[in-house]
């Protein structure tokens, strides 16, 4: 399976690329900085320099053609302001989805965030509010498209070693934390599971093995 991953040098993406390459798939990471290419090669992924903040839809579509799936795992990252939350977390996701439609890549997994889809909590700072709005708007755009999409909303992300045990469920679960290792493993399982198409799922640590948790949300 050839999988194109936006935000290819991100912490989740690097883990996802390693998992996919390790089982014989072909991960392709879209990156802004050519200096990050060696890190992607080390995971077994192909690196493609493509800045979603400046690229046009046809350029992005050219990198998607022939792929089996696309994953949006990009984000403006810590320290960025409200403007970049919009230009990356919303506009970048919209661009990748539009490019996937143009390239004929129907399977699409979007990494969002718990808290999306609802107003920011009282007292939330402006940048966090902009982030949640960007994620919410990107979700709404994706739901309106003729793609086989799955939206996954992780809780607070940690760099702790993955446990392989999660809680994956429809929105409305209590907020929690989850390792980036486990997020990457869940994305792989979602890509493999057709019954998760058209679903918005929240993800936190738990006590259910990843594959079992993904199968459970299809029933």
Kindly report, residue by residue over 194-215, the tens digit of the pLDDT. 899 999 999 999 999 999 999 9
Catalytic residue among 72, 108, 131, 149: 131
Is the pLDDT reported for residue 57 higher than 90? yes
The CA-atom distances, in angstroms, between 176 and each of 60, 104, 154, 163, 190 are: 34, 36, 9, 15, 20
CA 66 from chain centre, in angstroms, equals 20
Of residues 149 and 120, more confidence is placed in: 149
What is the sign of the dihedral through the CA atoms of 98, 101, 105 and 108?
Answer: positive
Mean pLDDT of the chain: 95
The third-level CATH classification (topology) of the domain covering 2-216 is Rossmann fold (3.40.50)
Residues 36, 41, 46, CA angle at the centre, nearest 5°? 95
* Predicted pLDDT at 82: 87
Residue keyed to tokens 């949300």: 217
24 is a catalytic site residue: no
167: confidence class by pLDDT, cuts 50, 70, 90: very high
Backbone φ and ψ of 144, nearest 5°: -85, -5
* Predicted pLDDT at 80: 84
């Amino acid at each position: 399976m050839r999988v194109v991953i936006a935000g290819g040098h991100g912490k989740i993406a690097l883990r996802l690329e390693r998992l996919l390459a390790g089982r014989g798939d072909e991960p392709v990471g879209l990156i802004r900085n050519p200096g990050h290419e060696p890190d992607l090669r080390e995971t077994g992924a192909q690196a493609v320099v493509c800045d979603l903040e400046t690229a046009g839809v046809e350029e992005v579509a050219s990198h998607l053609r022939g792929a089996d799936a696309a994953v949006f795992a990009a984000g403006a990252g810590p320290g960025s302001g409200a403007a970049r939350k919009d230009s990356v977390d919303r506009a970048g996701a919209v661009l990748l989805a539009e490019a996937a439609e143009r390239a004929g890549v129907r399977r699409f997994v979007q990494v969002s965030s718990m808290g999306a889809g609802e107003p920011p909590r009282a007292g939330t700072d402006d940048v966090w509010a902009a982030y949640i709005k960007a994620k919410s708007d990107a979700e709404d755009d994706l739901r309106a498209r003729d793609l086989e999409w799955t939206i996954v909303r992780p809780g607070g992300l940690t760099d702790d070693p993955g446990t392989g045990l999660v809680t994956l469920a429809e929105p409305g679960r209590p907020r929690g934390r989850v390792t980036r290792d486990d997020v990457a493993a869940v994305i792989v399982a979602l890509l493999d599971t057709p019954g998760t198409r058209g679903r918005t799922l929240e993800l936190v640590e738990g006590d259910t093995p990843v594959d079992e948790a993904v199968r459970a949300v299809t029933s």
